[in-house]
Amino acid sequence: MTFWTEDGQIVPAVTAEQMREVDRVAMSEFGLGILQMMENAGRNLAENVRDMLGGATGEVTILAGAGGNGGGGLCCARHLHNRDFKVWVVLDRDAALLKGAAANQLHILQRAGVPPVVPYQAQEPIKKANIVVDALIGYSLRGAPRGRTAELVKLCNQHAACVLSLDIPSGLNATTGEAPGLAVRPERTLTLALPKTGLQHIPGEIYLADIGIPPEVFHQLGVSYEPPFGKGYWMRLKGA
């Protein structure tokens, strides 16, 4: 399966399993750190928020999970906070349960005066935001969203004025595009490194973000890839 840039360059799509292998090779064999890639993802995500608001500041609510997707969302929250946005952060679990890179990103935000919203108060910031950023699950979906994650997906679909999903809309299988349960319905999805095969029929626009993975990583895994970004770091894609 392939996507295209607006000027016609082919961009191959990968399954969730292929993307896991891309991440593994990038980190274990090329030495890229998770925080490096997360920072690139979060900065690009913040720039997409600004693009969707026409360059203006506004009010943004970040829905964040505990993995790399959530860490990218938390990093985005920091970049928006640094640019005078009003930012709310809503976690899908208790803050103490975050580990690794996501916990690192949350710690920075808390030190900067942006604590997570109390979970039972999540509806109000979702309703008030100009944009809700969906950074709950990403390509690591295992079955239907459950518990607090499912509640946030439901609130997002019911009350968000506009949604930007990171990598793939939460609740969708990144390989097949199927939804085993509730799934976020975004106006835009910013997918990372390469588009996922499950994005072919999703609602809204699809954009691709460079997170700093060298093309040689993809080549080592047999993926025919030439960087499509030119002088930028993210771009719009067209599907079949």
Residue 174 has pLDDT above 90, yes or no: yes
DSSP 66: S
- Contact yes or no for 149/136 (Cβ under 8 A): yes
Average of pLDDT values for 99-127? 95
The model's pLDDT over 136-148, given as tens digits with 9 standing for 90+, comes to 998 988 889 999 9
The model's pLDDT over 217-235, given as tens digits with 9 standing for 90+, comes to 999 999 999 999 999 999 9
Contacts of 184 (CB under 8 A, 6+ apart): 134, 136, 153, 156, 157, 163, 165, 169, 170, 171, 172
The model's pLDDT over 121-134, given as tens digits with 9 standing for 90+, comes to 999 999 999 999 99
Beta strands in the chain (DSSP E): 2-5, 10-12, 59-64, 86-91, 131-135, 163-166, 188-192, 205-209, 234-238
C-alpha 187/C-alpha 205 separation (Å) is: 6
pTM of this prediction? 0.96
Q: What domains, with CATH codes, occur in the chain?
A: 2-238 (3.40.50.10260)
